[in-house]
Structure 1
Amino acid sequence: MSQPARIVMMLLVRKKVFLALAVFVISLSAIYIYWAPGGHSTVDVNPRVWSEIENMLEKKHQGLVDRYSAIPYQVKESIASRVAHNGCVCEAEPNRVNVPFIKLLFPSVWARYMDTTFTPTEWTAMKDRRNQQYQNFQKRSQNAADLLLIAEANSPLQYPAQGVEVRPLGTVIIPGLGIQEPTRDHSVTLTASMGTFDRAAEVKDVRAEGDGTSSLTLSSSLLANLNRQLQFIAYTNTLFHPNTADAVQFKTLGHQSVFVVRIQYKPSPRLYNPGPKGDYNISALVTIATKTFIRYDKLQVLIESIRRYYPTVTIVIADDSEHPQPVTGPYIEHYIMPFGKGWFAGRNLAVSQVTTKYVLWVDDDFIFTANTKVEKMVDMLERTTLDLVGGAVREVTGYTATYRQTIVREQGGPAGGFDPRLARVAHLEFFIDALGSLHIGSCDDVIVSHASKIKLPWGQSESDKAYAKFRYPSSSYDPIRTKDGLLYFKNGFQCMSSN
């Protein structure tokens, strides 16, 4: 899973022995990782509300537009028709004479409104649930960088500082363009590298050179008319790229500015129908996923503990054991992999089979207890912009560990994820790869038990011994050397420090 969104995981750093923490204490300065069970200041993870700012900016922008509304213009239909209007018509072709094979030989356009599939009561309830989920999606996917900001003329150029977007090969009217100069013959030029300019409407007494090209010059002796014309400048992207930006130059005599047109498809909402309102339906919202290898005794204990509290939640198991054993039961999906493929491949396989809104990732030696409240983690994700929430691990000895990490990456000089070669260990690597992508939180009141890691030689089962050969390789394998090589080569880390 490259970038999990809307994920619940137990992503708990597994505690071997205290000396194992030395692996992460490579002292220098590019990354600072703070391990601390408590004492953290609280962080506000509630969604930000931009409605007041948006309303203020919209009124201000509308005032700039209305300033020249009295000046007449002539619409250029060939350009204006390309500008998206956020509207469509759901209309089928009229019925034709019903003769044999007519639909096969001459297929017609069909159309169907979705609400006709449901009763009015069902449709209203579904629409209400969908609206709520869509609002949650917008809170997660939008921020202040998406707001349209107009830099008013101080240079004397006025232009959109941010917020102009166009879909690839699409057309958009550039808002906020203007110029404020003393009375003289006025002239401005727009230049782009990934698109062309044209006028969606023509204003009298304004001369244009370069319609339909990447460089458009407008001039007029009437400043008001020129500013009115600038309100109808259309930008069309001509070089396809699914996610990029064009730096547009906007200049007049003695002054020049640059603004960005973002070229991208808006993210498609990923919405899940939560069902009728009420308490969280964990079975419909969450799938529990795990990766197992040889340790079927521990896996069975995990399954039994889950069923004690969540009897109908689907459990997805990825298994790369050399001699797989059947794991059956209600709401269990057991997937057999090639021998020894490792944790990464197993996790990706298990997560690929999840169809619920959230996935709860657990190790196969975890044990659910009365304190393993999945509902609390779901509630945290539903109420905030967090992408991922973890909990605490309690060893059978009674020791509870909640590992929280604060990672800071300093860019450093020119010298300064996941990888198949770390097939079975990747605690720190997950958080490094998630830096800048995932918003992660932790619930210290959600606790899962953990099978004991204290293994005396005479107390180990055959499966424990076989598992240890793969989990803890021979001395010919140098884990620190492998990790440091990958952290330097893949992530560009020269050094790392921790406390």
Structure 2
Amino acid sequence: MTIQLSDTTFCIKTIHRPWSCHRLVESLCKHIVEPNIIVVDDGQPERRFLPAYPETAAKCQVIHPAQVDVGVGVGRNIAVEAVTTEFMFLLDDDHVVTPNLNLDKLIDRFTKLDIDIFGVRQGAGGRPTMLSPLMNGKRIWMHRGEIKRNGYVAWCHMSSNAFLARTETIRSLRWDEELKTFEHWEFFYRAKLAELKVAVAGDCFVKHAHVESADYRVLRQRSKFRSMGLRKHGFQSMRLPGGGVVRA
């Protein structure tokens, strides 16, 4: 199996951070030749990426859902359904692509190793992570760890939100559309239940350059969606990598 860059589409979900999305798209175009890019923007019309940066947006397929704030789950699923290439690469709108992505290296390993979802690091973050039930299945523990390793490639349960995968793999798995936020661990927990092979390339990176926005922060802090995801899988609480515990 060989993968050409033309076989891959970069998928970005954004809301109320037009400058951040602009920065990501420009970084993709700087370091990758004629990338295929889909942006789903479910923000208020006056806060959208396309009118704020029309020249940058012209380099993408920009989709505006009929409703505002459809959430991460719906938005990402819309993006993946619009992909026409065999492979997709997910990115968050506050990522920045640099030469440290080492995309050629990532693609080469994907073709040779037994991997379904292949994540990259986010600076100091995005290390291989495990999702382990505790307390007779009442608590899910999110912790650093790996199943096995081959050089810089570590198989695990959860990677960052910057990953390469076959489009059909992600279309089959999908994000839970009820979860407007706190969707990340739940997506990878279902990948684990589906026995998908998740790995992280420890020497491939995107830059995670968070952009602060007051209204975006309000959207991200809706903890009811974390509770919803935990209850969906029968968990009463989650233990975080730093040792803190959040409850459903």
TM-score, length-normalised on structure 2? 0.70
Would you say 1:301 and 2:23 are equivalent positions?
A: yes
The CA deviation string for residues 149-198 of structure 1, in whole angstroms up to 9 with x for no partner, is xxxxxxxxxxxxxxxxxxxxxxxxxxxxxxxxxxxxxxxxxxxxxxxxxx
Correspondence for 1:448: 206
Shift of the 320–498 alpha-carbon distance from structure 1 to 2, 3 Å rule, reads closer
Gaps of 5+ in 2: 138-173, 242-248
- Structure 2: distance between partners of 1:465 and 1:496: 26
Residue 125 (structure 2) aligned to one of 370, 395, 401: 401
- Structure 2: distance between partners of 1:289 and 1:435: 22
The CA deviation string for residues 355-401 of structure 1, in whole angstroms up to 9 with x for no partner, is 2221100011111111012222211211012101001112xxxxx22
Q: Report the 3-state secondary structure (helix = DSSP H, G, I; strand = E; otherwise coil) of the residue aligned with 2:129.
A: coil
Would you say 1:281 and 2:25 are equivalent positions?
A: no
Shift of the 448–491 alpha-carbon distance from structure 1 to 2, 3 Å rule, reads same
Question: Does the aligned pair in 1 maintain the 2:41–2:63 contact within 8 Å?
Answer: yes
How far has the Cα of 1:482 moved from its partner? 5.0
Question: Does the aligned pair in 1 maintain the 2:182–2:226 contact within 8 Å?
Answer: no
Question: Does the aligned pair in 2 maintain the 1:404–1:442 contact within 8 Å?
Answer: yes
- Structure 1: distance between partners of 2:229 and 2:120: 28
How far has the Cα of 1:487 moved from its partner? 1.9
Question: Does the aligned pair in 2 maintain the 1:343–1:423 contact within 8 Å?
Answer: yes
How far has the Cα of 1:445 moved from its partner? 0.8
Would you say 1:439 and 2:197 are equivalent positions?
A: yes
Residue 101 (structure 2) aligned to one of 372, 394, 397: 372
Q: Report the 3-state secondary structure (helix = DSSP H, G, I; strand = E; otherwise coil) of the residue aligned with 1:355.
A: coil
How far has the Cα of 1:494 moved from its partner? 4.9
- Structure 1: distance between partners of 2:132 and 2:92: 27
More strand, by proportion? 2
Shift of the 402–468 alpha-carbon distance from structure 1 to 2, 3 Å rule, reads closer
Correspondence for 1:471: 220
Correspondence for 2:181: 424
Would you say 1:363 and 2:111 are equivalent positions?
A: no
Correspondence for 1:313: 35
- Structure 2: distance between partners of 1:484 and 1:314: 35
Counterpart code for 1:310: I
Q: Report the 3-state secondary structure (helix = DSSP H, G, I; strand = E; otherwise coil) of the residue aligned with 1:340.
A: coil
Question: Does the aligned pair in 2 maintain the 1:418–1:433 contact within 8 Å?
Answer: no
Would you say 1:487 and 2:230 are equivalent positions?
A: yes
Counterpart code for 2:75: G
How far has the Cα of 1:345 moved from its partner? 0.8
The CA deviation string for residues 32-86 of structure 1, in whole angstroms up to 9 with x for no partner, is xxxxxxxxxxxxxxxxxxxxxxxxxxxxxxxxxxxxxxxxxxxxxxxxxxxxxxx
How far has the Cα of 1:485 moved from its partner? 5.0
- Structure 2: distance between partners of 1:465 and 1:351: 28
Q: Report the 3-state secondary structure (helix = DSSP H, G, I; strand = E; otherwise coil) of the residue aligned with 1:470.
A: helix
Q: Report the 3-state secondary structure (helix = DSSP H, G, I; strand = E; otherwise coil) of the residue aligned with 1:406.
A: strand
Identity of aligned residues (%): 25
How far has the Cα of 1:422 moved from its partner? 2.6
Residue 353 (structure 1) aligned to one of 78, 82, 96: 82
- Structure 2: distance between partners of 1:363 and 1:404: 18
Counterpart code for 1:467: Y
CA-based RMSD: 2.6
Counterpart code for 1:471: R
TM-score, length-normalised on structure 1? 0.36
- Structure 2: distance between partners of 1:486 and 1:305: 33
The CA deviation string for residues 221-260 of structure 1, in whole angstroms up to 9 with x for no partner, is xxxxxxxxxxxxxxxxxxxxxxxxxxxxxxxxxxxxxxxx
Would you say 1:333 and 2:61 are equivalent positions?
A: yes
Count how many residue pairs are aligned between Structure 1 and Structure 2: 197
How far has the Cα of 1:467 moved from its partner? 2.0
- Map residues 221-232 of structure 1 onto 2, 5 A cutoff: none
Counterpart code for 1:381: F
How far has the Cα of 1:341 moved from its partner? 0.6
Correspondence for 2:167: none
- Map residues 15-164 of structure 1 onto 2, 5 A cutoff: 133=1
Q: Report the 3-state secondary structure (helix = DSSP H, G, I; strand = E; otherwise coil) of the residue aligned with 1:446.
A: strand
More helix, by proportion? 2
Question: Does the aligned pair in 1 maintain the 2:11–2:90 contact within 8 Å?
Answer: yes
Q: Which structure would you say has the larger Rg?
A: 1
Counterpart code for 1:403: R
Shift of the 303–386 alpha-carbon distance from structure 1 to 2, 3 Å rule, reads same
The CA deviation string for residues 203-226 of structure 1, in whole angstroms up to 9 with x for no partner, is xxxxxxxxxxxxxxxxxxxxxxxx
Shift of the 469–386 alpha-carbon distance from structure 1 to 2, 3 Å rule, reads same
- Structure 2: distance between partners of 1:351 and 1:291: 10
Question: Does the aligned pair in 2 maintain the 1:317–1:335 contact within 8 Å?
Answer: yes
The CA deviation string for residues 72-117 of structure 1, in whole angstroms up to 9 with x for no partner, is xxxxxxxxxxxxxxxxxxxxxxxxxxxxxxxxxxxxxxxxxxxxxx
Counterpart code for 1:386: I
